[in-house]
Chain A
Amino acid sequence: MPPLLKIILRRALLGLLTLLLVSVVVFAATQALPSDTARAILGRDATPERLAALREQLNLNRPAVVQYGSWLGGVVTGDLGDSLVAKQPVTQLLSGRVKNSAVLVSLAALISIPLALVFGSLSGLLRDRGFDTAVSLGSLTLAALPEFVVGIILVLLFATQVFHLFPAVTLLNPNASIFGQLKMLVLPSMTLVLAVAPYIVRTLRASMIEVLESDYIQMARLKGMPERTVLGRHALPNAIVPAIQVIALNLAWLAGGVVVVEYLFNYPGIGSALMDAVSNRDLPVIQAITLLIAGLYVIFNLTADILTILVSPRLRTGLQ
């Protein structure tokens, strides 16, 4: 199918272009702003020698374009520079953190997506009944709440005030497997689930209602097809398509949402690493993490676009 391939290739190239522009923004915000980067990092009372050494390390003496080129070259070859604080390669410093965040985000995604799909489609199916009203108001309320508010309410409920079931801060033993310490992950992942699920629920409810009102569902019902087949074979698969994009956007949001949630629970992932790096002005670490998060967004988005093209017959066959 060359036309389909061509469309996918075009989307991939656009994604790559966005990724490149993203790297320009990351670089510009940290190294090319009209301020003395070296002095900002070291503070007012830095000695001229230390300033000179740092400028040398970060290539700050050369033109911005050259700096960007060598930085991007490093990124492409997997060399993200050395942390200014820990004095070790950024990749080495972050590898454990990336793994921890990946576990947390995957756990949140694995729980929230099926949960939201069930609640959303049931809510659309039982439109305007008690269940639907409760789900709609619940998701509207949760969608309004900032994630740290949700997190603190969960801590008050399940860790400190009402029940004492789960720890309020994450104290992971770095020498043991993270999967043996799942109790630590309950509250952080629950916070992320409650932050993400409402949007998927609301999208699926809306698309379910739209699908159920369509002619082909009416046709299927009129010709006497069992309700279960109508819902399982016709309604649900079509209702899920618009949700793919929203799920992808929310997965991408999770990558950024972990910043606040990890800080709140003191969870050792990339979010809390970014917070530490920002307060220490650890430039190479800031660049690496922001680039990673924005890169994930572009990739999730691209995957969702391609998936949507592949699963919707109208888009797929329209190309041929």
Chain B
Amino acid sequence: MSPGRSKGPQAVHGSGLELSEEVIGPGFENVSAPRAQGAKRRNEWVQLAHDAVHYRRTQVGLLLVFLVTVLALFGPLAAPYTPYEFTGLPYAGPGDGGLLGTDNLGRDVFSRVLNGGRSVLVLAFAATAIGGFLGVTMGLVAGYTRDAIDDLVMRVLDVVLAFPQIVLVLLFVSILGPRVWLIVLIVGLTHSPRIARVTRGATLEVRERDFIKAAEALGVSRVRIALGELLPTITSPLLVEFGLRLTYSIGLIAALSFLGFGLQPPAADWGLMINENRVGLIVQPYAVFVPVVLIAILTIGTNLVTDGMARAMIGIERDTGV
């Protein structure tokens, strides 16, 4: 999805950042007592989570994510059949072909649904983590070094941004082949410029603060300042960004499976199931409908939680109750 498709993180400078300055107090004390102040700052994102949970939408989102995650992680234990065994004729309806009927090869749809969520969750989470690590690193470097490196990093990231995420994955898959590690890596890579921009923006705001100046004056190494002072101060916008990227990762990973470039048959995977069974959509819609709905519930859930966090961060009052 496109880079402009992220609204929340634009409103980065929020109550969260100001709050942290209050908590931290004058710079010198916190340089001499990094441990105590680190513990205090951790309150910032605990506070964010605490505030976010008060929104109805966050609660609904958490419930949706919880339901799908439990189903994906523990579903395989409850499946009546293995995802690979043939239990009936192809495209048998519910009733004579098990709870949700059978798929294009006559395998039990219910068992494959219960087995097919783990891959989406794990791969999407891995891709987001890779993107987060790369993006935060580049964003911190670009935002804190402020000179030519900043220009260079941002210019290179512009080039990655010019490719729609799915197109960049297809480009690399075309010669190297559809390998799961490659897809996770490239999806993560395509997230990194977006995350780097948010990190850089937040860093630019914080780096002029007194406690950073104080640490610099004391001769604390720049790496330690970046990781020990800057990073803990900007966790709120990063948390929101992580939620957003997780939502898009789920969509992208599922879409790539749907296109046939994710897990390969005979694996049970929601995206792949949709691809395999869409020819029989008219006779046996459940083999497509159920995976589609589960992916939808999962992405709606993560997006609701993210929106709740974004609202908590910029301090929108809860006057409408949603």
A residues in contact (CB < 8 Å) with B: 17-18, 21-22, 25-26, 29-30, 33, 35, 37, 40-41, 128, 133, 136-137, 140-141, 143-149, 152-153, 155-156, 160-161, 168, 199, 202-203, 206, 245-246, 248-250, 252-253, 255-257, 259-260, 263-264, 274-275, 277-279, 281, 283, 286, 290, 293-294, 297-298, 301
Nearest CB in chain B: distance from A158 CB, A: 13
Q: Are A260 and B166 in contact, with the CB atoms below 8 A?
A: yes
Known: A140-B304, A145-B299, A253-B1. A290 touches B170 (CB 8 A): yes
Nearest CB in chain A: distance from B131 CB, A: 17
Against A, the Cβ 8 Å flags (1 = close, 0 = not) of B280-311 are 01100100110010011001101110010000
**Residue among B4, B163, B296 making CB contact with A149, cutoff 8 Å:** B296
**Residue among A35, A140, A148, A255 making CB contact with B164, cutoff 8 Å:** A255
Which chain B residues border A149 with CB–CB below 8 Å?
Answer: 251, 254, 292, 295-296, 299
**Residue among A37, A156, A259 making CB contact with B167, cutoff 8 Å:** A259
Q: Could you name 14 residue pairs across A and B whose Cβ atoms are closer than 8 Å? A: A22-B162, A25-B159, A26-B171, A30-B175, A140-B307, A149-B299, A199-B5, A203-B7, A249-B4, A256-B164, A257-B1, A281-B175, A293-B163, A301-B162
Known: A203-B7, A256-B167. A263 touches B281 (CB 8 A): no
Nearest CB in chain A: distance from B99 CB, A: 19
The residue on B at minimum CB distance from A202 is B7
Which chain B residues border A286 with CB–CB below 8 Å?
Answer: 170-171, 174
- State the 5 A-B residue pairs at the shortest beta-carbon distance, nearest first: A256-B164, A249-B4, A146-B251, A253-B2, A144-B303
Which chain A residues border B155 with CB–CB below 8 Å?
Answer: 17-18
CA A294 to CA B7, docked complex, whole Å: 22
Which chain B residues border A145 with CB–CB below 8 Å?
Answer: 251, 296, 299-300
CA A199 to CA B4, docked complex, whole Å: 8
B31 on the A face (CB < 8 A) = no
Q: Are A29 and B171 in contact, with the CB atoms below 8 A?
A: yes
Known: A199-B7, A278-B174. A253 touches B164 (CB 8 A): yes
Q: Are A160 and B170 in contact, with the CB atoms below 8 A?
A: no
The residue on A at minimum CB distance from B177 is A40
Other than the given A128-B320, A140-B307, A297-B162, 16 more pairs (CB < 8 A) read: A29-B171, A30-B175, A128-B319, A137-B57, A140-B304, A144-B303, A146-B254, A160-B285, A246-B4, A250-B2, A256-B2, A256-B166, A290-B167, A290-B170, A294-B162, A297-B164
Nearest CB in chain B: distance from A80 CB, A: 15
Nearest CB in chain B: distance from A255 CB, A: 7
CA A300 to CA B53, docked complex, whole Å: 39
Q: In residues 58-99 of chain B, which contact A (Cβ within 8 Å)?
A: none
Which chain B residues border A256 with CB–CB below 8 Å?
Answer: 2, 163-167
B252 on the A face (CB < 8 A) = yes
B247 on the A face (CB < 8 A) = yes
Which chain B residues border A141 with CB–CB below 8 Å?
Answer: 300, 303
Q: Are A152 and B288 in contact, with the CB atoms below 8 A?
A: yes
Q: In residues 204-245 of chain B, which contact A (Cβ within 8 Å)?
A: none
Q: Are A249 and B3 in contact, with the CB atoms below 8 A?
A: yes
B residues in contact (CB < 8 Å) with A: 1-5, 7, 57, 155-156, 158-167, 170-177, 247, 250-252, 254-255, 258-261, 274, 278, 281-282, 285, 288-289, 292, 295-296, 299-300, 302-304, 307, 319-320, 322
Nearest CB in chain B: distance from A18 CB, A: 6
Known: A144-B247, A168-B281. A249 touches B2 (CB 8 A): yes
CA A145 to CA B250, docked complex, whole Å: 10
Which chain A residues border B303 with CB–CB below 8 Å?
Answer: 140-141, 143-144
Nearest CB in chain B: distance from A205 CB, A: 10
CA A156 to CA B319, docked complex, whole Å: 37
The residue on B at minimum CB distance from A248 is B4
Q: Are A148 and B175 in contact, with the CB atoms below 8 A?
A: no
**Residue among A203, A253, A263 making CB contact with B259, cutoff 8 Å:** A263
Nearest CB in chain B: distance from A118 CB, A: 19
Nearest CB in chain B: distance from A12 CB, A: 14
CA A141 to CA B164, docked complex, whole Å: 21
CA A196 to CA B166, docked complex, whole Å: 16
CA A300 to CA B165, docked complex, whole Å: 17
Nearest CB in chain B: distance from A238 CB, A: 17
CA A143 to CA B172, docked complex, whole Å: 27
Known: A29-B171, A30-B174, A137-B322. A18 touches B163 (CB 8 A): no
Q: Are B175 and A29 in contact, with the CB atoms below 8 A?
A: yes
Which chain B residues border A148 with CB–CB below 8 Å?
Answer: 254-255, 258, 274
CA A155 to CA B279, docked complex, whole Å: 12
Which chain A residues border B164 with CB–CB below 8 Å?
Answer: 252-253, 255-257, 259, 293, 297
CA A21 to CA B167, docked complex, whole Å: 16
Which chain B residues border A137 with CB–CB below 8 Å?
Answer: 57, 322
Which chain A residues border B176 with CB–CB below 8 Å?
Answer: 33, 35, 40
Known: A161-B285, A255-B164. A146 touches B255 (CB 8 A): yes
Nearest CB in chain A: distance from B191 CB, A: 15
Which chain A residues border B295 with CB–CB below 8 Å?
Answer: 146, 149
**Residue among B260, B278, B299 making CB contact with A144, cutoff 8 Å:** B299
Q: Are B175 and A152 in contact, with the CB atoms below 8 A?
A: no
The residue on A at minimum CB distance from B298 is A144
Which chain A residues border B161 with CB–CB below 8 Å?
Answer: 297
The residue on A at minimum CB distance from B160 is A25
Nearest CB in chain B: distance from A215 CB, A: 20
Known: A144-B247, A148-B255, A293-B167. A156 touches B289 (CB 8 A): yes
Q: Are B2 and A25 in contact, with the CB atoms below 8 A?
A: no
CA A259 to CA B167, docked complex, whole Å: 8
**Residue among A17, A160, A206, A277 making CB contact with B282, cutoff 8 Å:** A160
